[in-house]
Every structure is written in structure tokens, then in C-alpha cells.
């Protein structure tokens, strides 16, 4: 089966909204030209796909506590072997981490591209070229944490920006807020 959305196609149609994202987007495009497996977790830079899950009726966004990063962030993660469609990966990750079975793309467009340093075991740091998308659910009460040490919280968007310590996530949340306002 041919993937509906490839990283290159999504990046080509995406327009960065600030200088930081413009630099990240350019770096990811150049890197994609040199790698045979952009999802290879062992590579110092590799793709990940993430979801900002929103309940449109209330305008709340779902945050997950990430124990390793010790921060409230969005859901998402790595592609599994054989996967290549970033939207499908973000959806699978959202379902796995939240138990929301009705989660679906709120838009077919890429929300944000961010290269993020992530500490792994020991002192090793890798970079995630995170492709971020907006997803929606109509059943927010069905949410269930994947693990006890990774609780989930529904919060309004201003509270979400206060809870996160990551500037790149705050930039994504501003885009989520603009999308929610545009849909309402």
C-alpha cells in the first residue's frame, strides 16, 4: 500500500511561520536527501510524528506527562518498522498513549516542524525532527493513560502554554490555538 502522506510531500507543502521553524524545515529537507531511513531511531537525527489532540467543543488540548523529559508535552513518537506515513504514525501514537479510539486528523496539513534534542539513556542526546499535527476527538472522557507514570490532562490553551517548559511546544500550541479559533 502506498503511503498517502510522505515526509517530503508534507514538508514541501508546509510554510514555516517563524525563523526557527524555517531553519528546522530547511535542515530536515537537506537531511532527507541524504538518508535512506529517516525513521531510524539509532540515527543521531531521525523523524518522529506527534499529535496535539483537541476537543473542539471545549477548545481544550490534551497534555501528557513525559517522565523522561519531566515535562507536560503532546503525544507522539517514533515510527514502527515498515511505517512511513507521518499522519498515520501520529494517529497510532495518539491512540496508544490516550486510548482515544475516535481520534482523527483535524487537518491534513502539517502543523509544525521542530527539531528537538532528546536525552536518551546515559548522556546520549539525539535529535527528533518532529512532524506535528492537529487531531480531534469528540469523546474526551474516554481518555486513559497508557502508563501510571504518564498521566494525561485536558487543559485550556493558555494553561497548556503555562504548563509546558518547552518553547517549541509553546510555538506549536499557538498554532493549535489559531486553528481552533479558525474552526470556531
Q: How confident is the model at residue 183 (pLDDT cuts 50, 70, 90)?
A: low
Q: What is the CATH number for 52?
A: 3.90.79.10
pLDDT category, 118, cuts 50, 70, 90?
A: confident
Does any domain span residue 1?
no
**Does residue 124 fall inside a structural domain?**
yes
Total domain count, the chain: 1
Would you state the pLDDT for residue 2? Answer: 39
Q: Residue 152 belongs to what domain range?
A: 7-183
- In angstroms, the CA 110 to CA 29 distance is 14
Amino acid at each position: 500500500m502506498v503511503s498517502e502522506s510522505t515526509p517530503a510531500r508534507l514538508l514541501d507543502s508546509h510554510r514555516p511561520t517563524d525563523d526557527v521553524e524555517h531553519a528546522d524545515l530547511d535542515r530536515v529537507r537537506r537531511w532527507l536527501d541524504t538518508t535512506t531511513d529517516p525513521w531510524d531511531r539509532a540515527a543521531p537525527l531521525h523523524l518522529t510524528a506527534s499529535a496535539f489532540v483537541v476537543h473542539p467543543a471545549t477548545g481544550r488540548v490534551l497534555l501528557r506527562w513525559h517522565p523522561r523529559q519531566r515535562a507536560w508535552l503532546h503525544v507522539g513518537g517514533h515510527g514502527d518498522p515498515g511505517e512511513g506515513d507521518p499522519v498515520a504514525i501520529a494517529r497510532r501514537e495518539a491512540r496508544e498513549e490516550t486510548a482515544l479510539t475516535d481520534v482523527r486528523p483535524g487537518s491534513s496539513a502539517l502543523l509544525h516542524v521542530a527539531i528537538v534534542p532528546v536525552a536518551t539513556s546515559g548522556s546520549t542526546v539525539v535529535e527528533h525532527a518532529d512532524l506535528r499535527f492537529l487531531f480531534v476527538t469528540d469523546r474526551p472522557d474516554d481518555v486513559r493513560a497508557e502508563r501510571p507514570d504518564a498521566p494525561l490532562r485536558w487543559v485550556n490553551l493558555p494553561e497548556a502554554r503555562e504548563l509546558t517548559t518547552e518553547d517549541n511546544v509553546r510555538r506549536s500550541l499557538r498554532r493549535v490555538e489559531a486553528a481552533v479559533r479558525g474552526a470556531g
